[in-house]
Amino acid sequence: MLKAGDKAPDFDLIADSGEKISLKDYKGRKVVLYFYPKDMTSGCTVEACDFRDNIKKIEKKNAVVIGVSPDGTKSHVKFKDKYELPFTLLSDESKKMLEDYRVWQEKSMYGRKYMGVVRTTFIIDEKGKIEKIFEKVKVDGHVEEILSSL
């Protein structure tokens, strides 16, 4: 299990922009790295729009927001365009990053077990260390929690 103080696992993923992004690209800035299950679903849309609506406050704290899900880049582009999301979305179709951050886990719905993304947010400091982890995130009020922790 990852914990505060650990070095954040690096990654190399394709962003919605088509460029390859890695954690080291953000040295010197805090990273709000949030993992979500699926583009265009109700909870994920509310969470993304909440980050969108508070992006200026987050940026004032020298932080960037990066969203990660197993959806492909085409899905991310549609999601980003539809909701005018002003931050990077990374596609982890291989689920390597999801596994590195321990957010790809067994879930259960209506008695059915399946593998999926557990909604989790990491605050990573300017040197690439995990500062805080929010596990099993509840969407309502989450961005306020993030802002008070930055």
How far apart are alpha carbons 33 and 16 in whole angstroms? 15
Asked if residue 43 lies in contact with residue 117, where contact means CB atoms within 8 angstroms, the answer is no
3-class DSSP assignment, residue 49: helix
Name the catalytic one among 8, 44, 65, 143.
Answer: 44
Best CA proximity match to 31, nearest among 119, 129, 125:
125
Best CA proximity match to 26, nearest among 98, 117, 122:
122
What's the N-to-C CA distance of the chain in angstroms? 22
| Residue 44 appears among annotated catalytic residues | yes
Question: Which residues have a catalytic role annotated?
Answer: 44
